[in-house]
Structure 1
């Protein structure tokens, strides 16, 4: 992430998430339910979106029986909540850009909570599209060097042969980037090759990063991000603050 390890940030994120694993599993469970409903199948072999969410669940150390229960529950519950995808965009301190992806069964509640999180961090929600042009939507796969004993060049060739756009080596990890449309195929090829992935998901990657030096600005953006991460309706938060 802008001159320092992407994986360090992911490990930091995972450590924070370990304290609230139940909340993370609940959010992924919701994604599994939506993938089953929107993909029209509870069989990962026939539902690429479900395969991708299962991979994300495993990267977050979600137990297999928990994954299976979530899928079976979604497949067997015709009266389960209908979640709606809503994305919010806005600004944090000093022009930092923030994108918030939600899955909600109550738009009013979600809108109010997201707006409150921005306001409490001295930011504001903007109009759709106000900051998303500052990000590139990409499939991103992170491989921990501690989990991969092979040759970096071999890994790069495997990724590129599978359809990846870019491969880079960091201090403690490898990063594979794909077009969103090619993500599933690349992830599956690496999985079938027995390569463990620390992260595998379609994400929003900032084109440039914003440095914050004022302590008050740092406190404010942390407050906004913490409030958003704690909201059950919020699935993903992307920002261009260089932590």
Structure 2
């Protein structure tokens, strides 16, 4: 369980670049906060832009507006798209398409038991969940995995994850930064705050309080980098090298499917 706001909490998740299998420690999933993407090959860039386009559509659907000023989730997705040099014309085209597309795409969370008894949550966005589940089931059968409905509430906890850059001003050291961040987190209604480096702090809050906490932090002078709903594992699973190889292969296959937005897992990090 998450501990008090003044205590450090480990948040386990997995990130894979489009062609990499290295693991990193952080508090949100693969597509939630895309950073420092440079020199991508054409195919990789196209895949990245396709994922971001889908994220924009989801943000519009969930936020109810194509105006970033009135839709905080959309605002942050567009900021992420700009950071990886997604053309403004492409972003506008995607926004325009949300007003004319009548395909009725919806978001779904699919629960999966993977190699080494790890568990995955696979977020998808599709107008044909039956067809997509068939494609995923084929991949699962070939990778020692299966659908496992009903695990989410026992293995994962839904939380709001905010990454924010702090304005240093008169703050001179890490202790002062964390002290101010802790006070601001309490005032905003956040549950946890962690320094993740480069003057960036990670705040954890209840998923239903994400918008309110984000707005409070903005009023306190923070530059919001991302604000997303994530699934944080309550129980972690250790994996052997062979099991990790099998998982990485599964992840790669799933992430290439059209409609798959992000994949969260409960694999224990070192």
Could you tell me the TM-score, scaled by structure 2's length?
A: 0.72
Q: Which runs of 5+ in 2 are unaligned?
A: 1-8, 16-23, 172-176
Counterpart Cα distance in 1 of 2:184 and 2:14: 21
Are the aligned partners of 1:163 and 1:178 in contact in 2 as well (CA < 8 Å)? Answer: yes
Q: Which runs of 5+ in 1 are unaligned?
A: none
Counterpart selection for 1:178 from 205, 216, 226: 205
The residue correspondences of 1:83-122 to structure 2 (distance < 5 A) are 83-122=105-144
Are the aligned partners of 1:156 and 1:167 in contact in 2 as well (CA < 8 Å)? Answer: yes
The change in CA–CA distance for 1:38 and 1:186 in structure 2 (over 3 A counts) is: closer
Q: Report which structure shows greater RCO (CA 8 Å, sep ≥6).
A: 2
The count of residues paired between Structure 1 and Structure 2 equals 234
The residue correspondences of 1:42-81 to structure 2 (distance < 5 A) are 42-46=66-70, 50-59=71-80, 61=83, 63=86, 65=88, 66-75=90-99, 77=100, 79-81=101-103
The change in CA–CA distance for 1:57 and 1:230 in structure 2 (over 3 A counts) is: farther
SS of residue in 2 equivalent to 1:164: coil
Please state if 1:137 is matched with 2:158: yes
SS of residue in 1 equivalent to 2:25: helix
Aligned to 1:169: 195
Q: Could you report, residue by residue, the CA deviation over 1:193-238 in whole angstroms, capped at 9, with x for unpaired residues?
A: 553445421000001221112x321111111111122222111211
The change in CA–CA distance for 1:3 and 1:200 in structure 2 (over 3 A counts) is: closer
Counterpart Cα distance in 2 of 1:190 and 1:35: 21
Are the aligned partners of 1:2 and 1:209 in contact in 2 as well (CA < 8 Å)? Answer: no
The change in CA–CA distance for 1:5 and 1:37 in structure 2 (over 3 A counts) is: closer
Q: Could you report, residue by residue, the CA deviation over 1:34-73 in whole angstroms, capped at 9, with x for unpaired residues?
A: 4434544323444xxx321321342452558244442233
Counterpart Cα distance in 2 of 1:138 and 1:95: 23
Note the aligned Cα RMSD (angstroms): 3.3
Counterpart Cα distance in 2 of 1:2 and 1:152: 17
